[in-house]
Amino acid sequence: MESHWVIICKKVDKIRLTSKNLTKACLAEFCGTCIMIIFGCGVIAQVFLGDHGSKKHGDMASICWNWGFAVMMGVFFAGGNGSGHINPAITLAFAVIGRVPWIRVPLYSISQLLGAFVGACVVLLVNWPNIENYTKTNDSGIYTVTTTGSIFVTNPAASNLHCFMDQIVGTALLTAGALAIVEKRAWEMPRCLHPPMFGFLVCALVQAYALNAGCALNPARDLGPRLVLLCCGWGGSAFTSGNYYFWVPIVGPYVGAVLGALLYELTIGIHVTGRRTTTEEGEALE
């Protein structure tokens, strides 16, 4: 007679995806982006709410390092069955230079946006009592994008135009750095080291470029949580705040990622000795 565990395993086998590679990849991108937001926005919640409570829970360095670890864990989750992009701008840039089939761009992007939305919902649910308490104590009961909303979305500390340029530069560096890390013909780096290297790259970027625009560098990272704010008490101010700043961390990363990918290919990529002209579908960040 089969054990209870064997019966459970057989039932699980029935829902296992074996041949639907695109479905598996989209599910992986969803999970990876969700994990990234849970860790990334989670640390901002700890620092922001703790700083205004009875005990301090971290500082800017905590945010920088934890966002690096958040990206690392997100890529670990998404890189097994997916491409490990967890960023619609990266996906678009890789498609532009021929490293990702175009059919994957809209499907990955939707998966990443949904993952960011769900991840932000988790952070909101976990921290809701402290968010509500802060709002009643400091914001007269009004949920404000520039205070409690900053746990989830980025806010400008300069003009929207300046922040737009900031996002272009930051995401260009992110994309070029990612391409350099996965460049197999430059060095034989084990694939298992890619996620930690991406994490260090993001950590460095957050420490260097967080002042002006919060260093979103990822349309899903900002838009997904912003939609959560829209639905959960912050209302339309999630999109009107900061002189309609919401478009900056969406459009800026797309422009920066494409420019970064093209500049990398023109200056480094096409000149690497033995560079192959085609890549396997689904390979992490390739």
Domain membership of residue 130 (yes or no) is yes
Domain membership of residue 127 (yes or no) is yes
What is the C-alpha separation between 161 and 166, in angstroms, rounded? 9
Domain membership of residue 262 (yes or no) is yes
Which residues constitute the domain of residue 103? 20-268
Percent of the chain with pLDDT over 70: 87
- Structure-model confidence comparison of residues 9 and 115, the more confident one: 115
The mean pLDDT of 60-85, rounded to a whole number, is 93
Supply the CATH number for residue 75's domain: 1.20.1080.10
Instruction: State the amino acid at position 18 in one-letter form.
Output: T
Contact at 8 Å (CB) between 160 and 248?
Answer: yes
Is the model's pLDDT at 285 over the cut of 70? Answer: no
Domain membership of residue 38 (yes or no) is yes
Total domains in the fold of the chain: 1
What is the C-alpha separation between 28 and 75, in angstroms, rounded? 9
List, for residues 113-143, the tens digit of each pLDDT value. 999 999 999 999 999 999 999 999 999 999 9
Percent of the chain with pLDDT over 90: 75
pTM for the structure as a whole: 0.88
The mean pLDDT of 79-87, rounded to a whole number, is 89
Contact at 8 Å (CB) between 154 and 75?
Answer: no
Mean pLDDT, all residues of the chain: 89
| CB neighbour list of residue 133: distance below 8 Å, 6 or more residues apart | none
What is the per-residue pLDDT for 186? 72
What is the C-alpha separation between 220 and 278, in angstroms, rounded? 28
Is the model's pLDDT at 7 over the cut of 60? Answer: no
Domain membership of residue 148 (yes or no) is yes
Domain membership of residue 277 (yes or no) is no
List, for residues 147-195, the tens digit of each pLDDT value. 999 999 999 999 999 999 999 999 999 999 999 999 877 777 888 899 9
Is the model's pLDDT at 53 over the cut of 60? Answer: no
The mean pLDDT of 215-219, rounded to a whole number, is 95
Classify each residue of 226-261 as buried b or exposed e, where b means 16 or more C-beta atoms within 10 Å of its C-beta: bbbbeebbbeebbbebbeebbebbbebbbbbbbbbb
What is the per-residue pLDDT for 279? 47
Chain centroid to Cα 242, Å, comes to: 22
Is the model's pLDDT at 274 over the cut of 50? Answer: yes
Q: What are phi and psi of 240, to 5 degrees?
A: -95, -20
Contact at 8 Å (CB) between 194 and 284?
Answer: yes
Domain membership of residue 233 (yes or no) is yes
What is the per-residue pLDDT for 242? 93
Contact at 8 Å (CB) between 68 and 75?
Answer: no
Q: How confident is the model at residue 8 (pLDDT cuts 50, 70, 90)?
A: low
Q: How confident is the model at residue 52 (pLDDT cuts 50, 70, 90)?
A: low
Domain membership of residue 28 (yes or no) is yes
Is the model's pLDDT at 102 over the cut of 70? Answer: yes
61-65, 69-73, 118-122: lowest mean pLDDT where? Answer: 61-65
